[in-house]
């Protein structure tokens, strides 16, 4: 009789422990289905987020904006120039004429990654790309954000 009582007690305890672990696992793995980026965040881990991915550059001028969320201040801007013109890339904060955060040129046929030198502020940022003489541009633009420079 004592063995069966002990067995039932241990079985009940095991069941309670299993349910507790299972419910805790479900709570820690909740995914926000409204998220539209490729980032994940949990228990202090933040993975890089691509906010612009291979956006085609065309025409005589090009602008595109992106938003920096909290914990994603490190920025990498990547440009592939497939045109015959040198591309001038300028990144500003808040508006197209706002504070300049980054500026660089990409030679015809070249690809260039440019990294922020320190974390940027949250909010809207603008990428504007142009040529010296308003020539026809072609290429690709990507922007990646991260919690640290090493993650880019």
3-state class (DSSP) for residue 140: strand
pLDDT tens for residues 75-124? 999 999 999 999 999 999 999 999 999 999 999 999 999 999 999 999 99
- pLDDT of 66 reads 96
What is the pLDDT confidence band of residue 4, given thresholds at 50, 70 and 90? low
First to last CA, the chain: 65
Fold of 45-151: Jelly Rolls (2.60.120)
Residue in the block written with tokens 């612009």: 52
Q: Are 139 and 71 in contact (CB under 8 A)?
A: no
**Domains of the chain by residue range:** 45-151
What is the pLDDT confidence band of residue 139, given thresholds at 50, 70 and 90? very high
Of 5-9, 25-29, 44-48, 136-140, where does mean pLDDT reach its minimum? 25-29
Other Cβ atoms closer than 10 A to 44: 6
pLDDT tens for residues 26-78? 333 322 323 334 444 444 455 678 899 999 999 999 999 999 999 999 999 99
- Length of the chain in terms of residues written: 152
- Provide CB contacts within 8 A for 69, sequence distance 6+: 49, 122, 145
Q: Are 55 and 141 in contact (CB under 8 A)?
A: yes
């Amino acid at each position: 009789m004592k063995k069966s009582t002990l067995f039932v007690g241990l079985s009940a305890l095991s069941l309670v422990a299993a349910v507790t672990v299972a419910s805790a696992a479900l709570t820690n793995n909740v995914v926000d289905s409204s998220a539209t980026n490729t980032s994940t965040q949990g228990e202090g881990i933040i993975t890089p987020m691509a906010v612009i991915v291979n956006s085609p550059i065309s025409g005589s001028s090009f602008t595109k904006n992106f938003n920096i969320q909290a914990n994603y201040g490190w920025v990498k801007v990547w440009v592939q120039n497939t045109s015959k013109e040198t591309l001038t890339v300028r990144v500003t904060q808040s508006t197209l004429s706002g504070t300049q955060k980054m500026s660089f040129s990409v030679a015809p046929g070249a690809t260039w990654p440019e990294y922020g030198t320190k974390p940027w502020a949250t909010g809207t940022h603008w990428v504007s790309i142009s040529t010296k003489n308003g020539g026809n541009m072609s290429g690709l633009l990507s922007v990646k954000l991260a919690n640290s420079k090493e993650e880019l």
